Structure 1
Amino acid sequence: MRAIDRRGARPRPPAVRLPSRNALLAMADALAVRSGWAGREREASWLLSARPSAVQAARRLAVARLSAWGLRRQAETAEVLVGELVSDALRRCDGRIRLELRVEDGLLRCEVSGVFAGAGARPGPAPHRSLLARLACCWGVCGQVAWFELPAGRACPGHSRGVD
């Protein structure tokens, strides 16, 4: 028999907190990486919900994928920069946020895009320019996409820094 409290109501069972869609996406991708399903290709893309959990999920996705690609040295820097770009997108975004990672021509390229609010609104890493300039090989904003590049090898090719 179940206990009854002073008001005559039965106590509710503790609430179960389900993980967010972003957290589930990050967990599923980490499982794919660990099982070897996601380490051979050199391009990956994820669609994140425009919620605060997107920042942590994007960071986890980037680190797991870069580790699977053998780019552990770049993972820490990419984690910081991905978090900054996704945070910026969250402040400006109305819909979903796309995170893309690609390795080609000796560079790791990360792009963060979304459906941004307002006709003139653009993703703009303005508060993060100094961080991007310090850590990224090059970076910029083109339309509704904010991006950065890191060297995937030893040295950064002679790319320019700044906004397109």
Structure 2
Amino acid sequence: MEVPPGMPLGVGGEPFEEIEVELPDGALLALYTDGLVESRDHTLDEGLQALRAALDTPDGADGGNAAAGSLEDVCDHVLSTLDTHHGEDDIALLMARMQGLSAESVGDWHLPSAPQSVGRARELAREQLESWGLDGLVDTTELLVSELVTNALRYGEGEIRLRLLLDRTLVCEVWDGGLVQPRRRRARDTDEGGRGLQLVGLLSAGWGSRRTPLGKTVWFELALPDGQSSGPDSVEALLSLW
């Protein structure tokens, strides 16, 4: 997989470029440091060949392909098969198995760069969540979608894209053509604005932004209702900002 060079994985505070790669369901993605595949005893190419061979060979348990096992078993198999005791460099291995979302679990819309898009985005979010049976998240989602779309209109460029993803959590993404990354700031008591991202941080389980080839994406994540706990009250959170 060809990716553009950038800052090392895990280094915060620096922008990075996003790329999109289509992977089939069940595909295995392995992220690793060079200590796993390179040492004084063999070249990088030889180490990469050994890694691929470790994933293609039987794991010794049932004769099946090693990559078909649980992620923990796959990692154990790779680390026990390769030369990981040279002590020359730190070794980190992270694996993920791709599981795509069905079309019914995705809402995706394009909106013009116009003030009317804020209200339209709220309507689309409400209708989508109601169709998923997530009525309890409608108010919070509408509020946060409104904040992100408003920011995209004020500070972004070009067409706006709104996307909702339903998986183990609810993820909302707002795309625009601007390159300036959002920064949360502390508004003064007399300021009429400047609290949008604070509100997103208070009401969501997490939020962030990333660069795309055509601009940026700002996202937030909400936990799905479990019938036992409720998320933060949007009115109380809003009042706490003053």
Quick check: TM above 0.5?
yes
Give me the whole-angstrom Cα distance separating, in 2, the residues matched to 1:148 and 1:92. Answer: 18
Distance apart, 1:153 and its partner CA = 2.9
Quote the Cα distance in structure 2 between the aligned partners of 1:83 and 1:75. Answer: 12
> Aligned runs of 1:73-88 on 2, under 5 Å?
73-88=136-151
Question: How big is the shift at 1:93?
Answer: 2.5
| SS of residue in 1 equivalent to 2:177 | strand
Alignment of 1:116-131 (within 5 A): 116=178, 121-124=180-183, 126=185, 127=194, 128-131=196-199
Unmatched 5+ stretches in structure 1 = 1-39, 157-164
Q: Which protein shows a greater Rg? A: 2
Give the SS at the match of 1:84.
helix
Q: Which residue of 140, 146, 149 maps to 2:218? A: 146
The percent of aligned pairs where both chains have the same amino acid is 36
Partner of 2:171: helix, strand, or coil?
Answer: strand
Count of residues in correspondence between the two structures: 113
After TM superposition, the structure 1 stretch with the greater mean CA deviation from structure 2, 82-91 or 137-146, is 137-146
What is the CA distance between 1:124 and its match in structure 2? 4.7
Shift of residue 138 of structure 1?
A: 0.7
The answer to whether the 8 A contact 1:66-1:72 is kept is yes
CA distance in 2, matches of 1:150, 1:90: 23
Asked whether the 8 Å contact 2:136–2:225 carries over to 1, the reply is no
Please state how far the C-alpha of 1:95 moved relative to its aligned partner: 1.0
1:60 counterpart residue number: 123
Equivalent positions of 1:29-48 (< 5 A) are: 41-48=104-111
- Asked whether the 8 Å contact 1:89–1:97 carries over to 2, the reply is yes
Runs of 4+ in 1 over 6 A off after TM superposition: none
Task: Please report the TM-score for the alignment, with normalisation by the length of structure 1.
Answer: 0.64
Distance in 2 (CA, whole Å) between partners of 1:42 and 1:71 is: 12
User: Given the superposition, is the C-alpha separation of residues 123 and 133 from structure 1 closer, same or farther in structure 2, using an over 3 Å criterion?
Assistant: closer
- The CA RMSD over aligned residues, in Å, is 1.9
Give the superposition deviation at 1:122. 2.6
Question: TM (normalized to structure 2)?
Answer: 0.44
SS of residue matched to 2:159: strand
| 1:91-143 Cα shifts (integer Å, max 9, x gaps) | 123210000001112x0000001111xxx523456532320121111111112
Contact 2:184–2:198 (CA<8 Å) still a contact in 1?
Answer: no
8 Å contact 1:103–1:152 — kept in the other structure? Answer: no
